[in-house]
């Protein structure tokens, strides 16, 4: 799970504007992510957190502005090229393949050419992070519980050998025990690899502990940006309103 030999910061987003039809969601948004960093993006629902991640992943391209990934402009590239370059998007809706088994879903995570050679190694690694998935590896995805399918979604993202993970609300709708499991895994990834992580969350505690820096997004703009050590949960929650 290596980075690609950084040329410039992992992500440099400037003045991003994004729309859904006529409705403007992101307004002149700017954000940075350094190599190996974990940045948490907090903010109320509907204010553009997912839209930002989708813009970076190439799934919902922005109207204007720039997104540089390791010095290369990616805002107009198709999603398959962005995946090939080492970016993995882990959606809130999971988007698993319902009639395939856990292991088939994970294998498809390694669809891009770069990841195929490391498929077995990555699969072993994902199973070590989520032993429960190994137990259920031949189980059909549509029969998994909420927490388990969330784990498969994260695992599938890791299978791509990405050096930048875009994680969209991984703990939403999960039981406290499941939440801990997911964040423990994310913590492992942060500590043991050079993968950079941009995580979007409603839940504040775990991400605040794990992240290096924190951004607050409100109404499509960045309200503030601070190192995580200089910010408290109360401050963040107050900014929501």
* Three-state secondary-structure class, residue 184: helix
- Could you tell me which residues are beta bridge partners of residue 168? 200
Question: Contacts by 92-96 with C-beta closer than 8 Å and gap 24+?
Answer: 92/50, 92/168, 92/169, 92/170, 92/172, 94/149, 94/150, 94/152, 94/153, 95/153, 96/141, 96/144, 96/149, 96/152, 96/153, 96/156
What minimum distance in Å lies between the beta carbon of 104 and another protein?
Answer: 8
Neighbours of 37 (CB within 10 A): 18
| Contact yes or no for 149/136 (Cβ under 8 A) | no
The site map against another protein for 143-182 (x = CB under 8 A) is: -------------x---x----------------------
By CB under 8 A, tell whether 230 contacts another protein.
Answer: no
Which of positions 70-89 make contact with another protein (CB under 8 A)?
78-80, 83-84, 88-89
Query: Phi and psi of 156, rounded to 5°?
Result: -65, -40
What minimum distance in Å lies between the beta carbon of 30 and another protein?
Answer: 25
By CB under 8 A, tell whether 200 contacts another protein.
Answer: no
What minimum distance in Å lies between the beta carbon of 119 and another protein?
Answer: 11
The residue count for binding another protein (CB under 8 A) is: 27
What minimum distance in Å lies between the beta carbon of 53 and another protein?
Answer: 11
Dist CA 174 CA 193 (whole Å): 26
> Segment near another protein (CB under 8 A), from 65-73, 93-101, 121-129, 201-209?
93-101
By CB under 8 A, tell whether 107 contacts another protein.
Answer: yes
By CB under 8 A, tell whether 108 contacts another protein.
Answer: yes
By CB under 8 A, tell whether 62 contacts another protein.
Answer: no
Q: What is the binding site for another protein (CB under 8 A)?
A: 57, 59, 78-80, 83-84, 88-89, 91, 93-100, 104, 107-109, 111-112, 116, 156, 160
């Amino acid at each position: 799970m290596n980075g690609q030999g950084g040329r410039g910061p992992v992500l440099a987003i400037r003045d991003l504007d994004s729309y859904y039809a006529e409705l403007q969601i992101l307004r002149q948004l700017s954000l940075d992510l350094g190599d190996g960093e974990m940045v948490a993006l907090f903010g109320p629902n509907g204010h553009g957190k997912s839209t930002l991640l989708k813009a970076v992943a190439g799934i919902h391209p922005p109207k204007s502005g720039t997104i540089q990934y390791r010095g290369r402009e990616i805002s107009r590239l198709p999603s398959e090229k962005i995946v090939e370059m080492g970016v993995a998007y882990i959606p809130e809706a999971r988007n698993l393949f319902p009639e395939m088994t856990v292991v088939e879903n994970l294998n498809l995570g390694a669809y891009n050419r770069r990841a195929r050679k490391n498929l077995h190694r990555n699969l072993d690694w994902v199973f070590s992070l989520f032993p429960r998935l190994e137990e259920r590896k031949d189980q059909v995805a549509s029969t998994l519980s909420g927490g388990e399918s969330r784990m498969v979604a994260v695992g599938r993202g890791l299978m791509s050998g990405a050096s930048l993970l875009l994680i969209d609300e991984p703990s939403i709708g999960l039981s406290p025990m499941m939440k801990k499991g997911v964040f423990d895994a994310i913590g492992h990834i942060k500590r043991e690899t050079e993968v950079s992580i941009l995580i979007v969350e409603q839940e504040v505690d775990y991400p605040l502990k794990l992240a290096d820096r924190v951004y607050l997004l409100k109404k499509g703009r960045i309200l503030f940006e601070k190192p995580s050590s200089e910010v408290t949960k109360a401050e963040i929650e107050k900014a929501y309103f």
